[in-house]
Chains A and B, each alone.
Chain A
Amino acid sequence: MRLVNVSYSYRRRAPTVLRGVEMALAPGDVAEVVGANGAGKSTLLRLMAGLARPTAGTISGRPVVVGFAPDRFPAEQPFTVTAYLTHQARIRRARFEPWIDRLGMALLMNERLRDLSKGSAHKVGLVQALMAEPGLLVLDEPFAGLDADTRAELPAIVTEVAGRGGMVVVSDHQGGLRGLPSVRRWAVLDGEVKESTGSTPPVTAAPPADVVVTVPADEVPAFMARMRGDGYQARELDRA
């Protein structure tokens, strides 16, 4: 996916929010978008998700299936969690059930959306974005308000999406993806987007050590994803 000389302003004569953005994403890339409030992070994300058209420039190569979770889930809708997700699953022709346990939502399913806490509502937003195996996953401030378990799970989910060739773009100023290896960092400043060249800081400064862990074969993918999600270099040695 490629952004060529992309500019955006809300109205014809309004000041440009973004200008001259040149970026490319390859399958499996994870990009973290950082910048001050109001710098244009959300606008960049909406452009990438195809929700807004660039005022100038082009965006090409967007995958067919896009998952988008806004920074604030619109909870003022007359549905229970189950009813809402059932509708979304029909629209996307996908299944939401596998995500319920993973995000710890089993007890929320009969709640009305408007009764949910901010973090719980946010999870509903994540599930609808994730359920159709998106080729491009766009998450706007996904770590805000989440409980510790889900915060810890999210890097693993991002790694999984990237692992099967999806692209992931996350805006975040809480450093929630800091542990992931090879995250690209895009900084939005004064309407321009620059990729910072500094590599991800290592999780620890201590010398590396190899550890062998024995895991039931069917749990291997999840385990590997979790370890990678935590920022460790994990590889499989042997499946007996």
Chain B
Amino acid sequence: MIALTLFRLAAFARSHRVVRALLPVLVLLALAYGVRAPLGQEVTALTDTAVLLVPLLAWSARSLLDTEPDQQRAISATAVGSPSREVAAGLLAALVVTSAFAALAVVWGLLLGVSELPSRGELAAAIALHALSALAGTALGALTSRPILPSPALSIMMLVLGFMAMLLVSLSPAAWLTVPLGGWMRAAADGLLTEGLPWLAVPSLLWPLLGLAAYTRLRRARP
């Protein structure tokens, strides 16, 4: 399965789709960290970027998953022994890419985006939010990838709408219905991120994992 994951990453890199996925991330980072955040605003700046990264990481995950032609997916599934392992290898490759981009965002933010390094606890919380952002992006990207939504127009629309819905619902009283992106930002602004993170982490993990489970389930009927 690892060999198939590496094959998919190689195809993503060699097809230059990785550049198309990375470019928007670089633009976001250049805009977000163009000016260093003022003292005391470090966590807010890092959290806002983690939220805005979600749709771009979803775009990256979708781009990686869609690199493979449909017939190659069939070949890969027989080569690796079963369609479910092919699905797992694809998700793993997507997660590698989204995690790498999220890690780049953290490093960029710490080097160029803040005036002073945040405390150790705040730093850990900011890193955790970026990891959750990578997970949420992977799930949204997988659910809008070609086997699930074959029409490119519909798929891109659903990706954008999915993120907007996540953001709006998370700012509403029904915030528990989605990844609490609004809750992340509010906690960071109130200086409560470190204490609040365990509570925020539960729905932030739960919904992407449910999304990935749904993707895996849907793929059984869409090989």
Contacts and interface: CB of A to CB of B under 8 A. Distances in A.
Interface of A: 46, 49-53, 64, 66-70, 72-74, 76-79, 83, 87-88, 90-92, 125, 128-129, 132, 138
Contact of A72 (B11, B71, B78): B71
A78 B15 contact: yes
Nearest to B221: A53
Q: Which 3 pairs from chain A and chain B are nearest by CB?
A: A74-B69, A78-B14, A74-B71
B80 A91 contact: yes
Contact of A50 (B7, B69, B83, B221): B83
A87 B223 contact: no
A9 B163 CA distance: 33
A69 B80 CA distance: 14
Contact of B4 (A49, A52, A74, A91): A91
Contacts of A67: 78
Nearest to A11: B221
Contacts of B83: 50-51
Contact of A76 (B6, B7, B69, B82): B69
Contacts of B173: none
A142 to B, nearest CB: 14
Contact of A68 (B3, B68, B78): B78
A88 B79 contact: yes
Interface in B11-56: 11, 14-16
A113 to B, nearest CB: 10
Contacts of B221: 53
Contacts of B6: 87, 90
A74 to B, nearest CB: 4
A91 B7 contact: yes
Contact of B223 (A52, A78, A79, A125): A52
Nearest to A53: B220
8 contacts: A49-B74, A64-B81, A68-B74, A70-B71, A74-B72, A74-B75, A77-B68, A83-B10
B117 interface: no
Contacts of B7: 87-88, 90-91
Nearest to B1: A91
B78 A50 contact: yes
B70 interface: yes
Contact of B70 (A73, A74, A132): A74
Contacts of B15: 77-78
A80 to B, nearest CB: 10
Interface in B201-223: 220-221, 223
Interface string B56-87: 00000000000011111011111111110000
A117 B77 CA distance: 25
Contacts of B74: 46, 49, 51, 68, 70
